[in-house]
Homo-oligomer: A and B are copies of this chain.
Amino acid sequence: MSNPGRHTMQIGAHALVFTGTFDAAGLTLAIEKTKKAGFDLIEIPLMDPSSFDRGLAASLLKEHDLAATASLGLNESTDLTSPDPSVVEAGERMLTECLEIVHAMGSSHLCGVIYSAMKKYMEPATAAGRASSAAAIGRLATRAADLGIHLSLEVVNRYETNLINTGRAALEFLDEIDHDNVSVHLDTYHMNIEESDQFSPVLDVGDRLGYVHIGESHRGYLGSGTVDFGSFFRGLARIGYDGPVVFESFSSAVVAQDLSRMLGIWRNLWQDSDDLAAHANLFIREQLRSVQSIELH
């Protein structure tokens, strides 16, 4: 339809659209179906790095000519903001292993909630926890740079972290890290809860924007919720963003037990992953084409 040469950005899907398990069968299914749905890229959640078969991932991606990124949410035993140094150390060690996996898969992006646990905290963030995380991310950014990998910190809502809930809070945190290999990862689902609108934060973050998640307000079909995608894509065009744009959706139809429960996925918002994914791929490309046409006005 539109001139694909105009878009250098890659459109992707989160693997959890297709599978909640990442053994050989799950990985194969997710990669095949992501490709089939029309995406350029798959985001693979590194839910259990130690058991993840990076070699298989690399060969499947190559076989299906699909790009990849990796993402992660820390948990209580790997929380970089923990007052317990051994927990921080465990987190840093785990993230270092993830960087190696990302490298082995031939990918150049690691993103997500990699700066704190992804959970409903029951107390505010502390200055010490924040400093601990910033320092660790700084060290990881250096290691990532050596491997040709870029880090992006996902801004999530108040129920999933106590540290970075808005784009502007992310910029402040980046200032504390002060490493040019770290950028901001915005997600429309979280923005819909925490930001003033879908346009302003994109302008605020500007060229510090490194990664984008496209999710509906209830994490179901794009266009079936309250997210103002039009404003978000207008913002992306205005700042000239050309990085990954990745569809994320969750339903009780496809479950990764720990993650799904942490995210409160109690409802069945879709049943057919293939239909959902094909719809999302077209939806995103249609929106980009719509916004691109504004140049002519």
Interface positions of A (Cβ within 8 A of B): 1-2, 120-125, 157-159, 162, 165-166, 168-169, 191-200, 203, 217-218, 220-226, 228, 230-231, 234, 238, 252, 261-271, 275, 278-279, 282-283, 286-287, 289-291, 293-294, 296-297
Contact = CB atoms under 8 A, between A and B. Distances in A.
- Integer count of this chain's copies in the complex: 4
B193 A217 contact: yes
B197 A158 contact: no
A262 B158 CA distance: 10
Contacts of A198: 226
Instruction: Select the residue from A192, A263, A265, A271 with max chain B CB neighbours within 10 A.
Output: A192
List the 4 closest A-B pairs by CB distance, nearest first: A223-B290, A158-B264, A159-B159, A120-B120
B158 A265 contact: yes
A78 to B, nearest CB: 18
Contacts of A157: 264
A263 B193 CA distance: 13
21 contacts: A124-B261, A124-B266, A157-B264, A158-B265, A165-B267, A169-B267, A192-B226, A193-B217, A195-B218, A196-B224, A197-B231, A200-B234, A203-B203, A220-B293, A220-B297, A223-B291, A224-B293, A226-B226, A231-B231, A282-B282, A283-B290
Nearest to A226: B192
A103 to B, nearest CB: 34
A197 B234 contact: yes
Contacts of A217: 192-194
A213 B214 CA distance: 28
B294 A264 contact: no
Given A221-B290, A226-B228, A231-B231, 18 more contacts: A1-B279, A2-B279, A120-B159, A120-B264, A121-B261, A122-B262, A124-B266, A158-B267, A168-B297, A197-B234, A220-B297, A222-B290, A223-B230, A223-B291, A224-B290, A267-B297, A269-B293, A282-B282
Contacts of A197: 225-226, 230-231, 234
Nearest to A220: B293
B282 A286 contact: yes
A265 to B, nearest CB: 7
Contacts of A158: 263-267
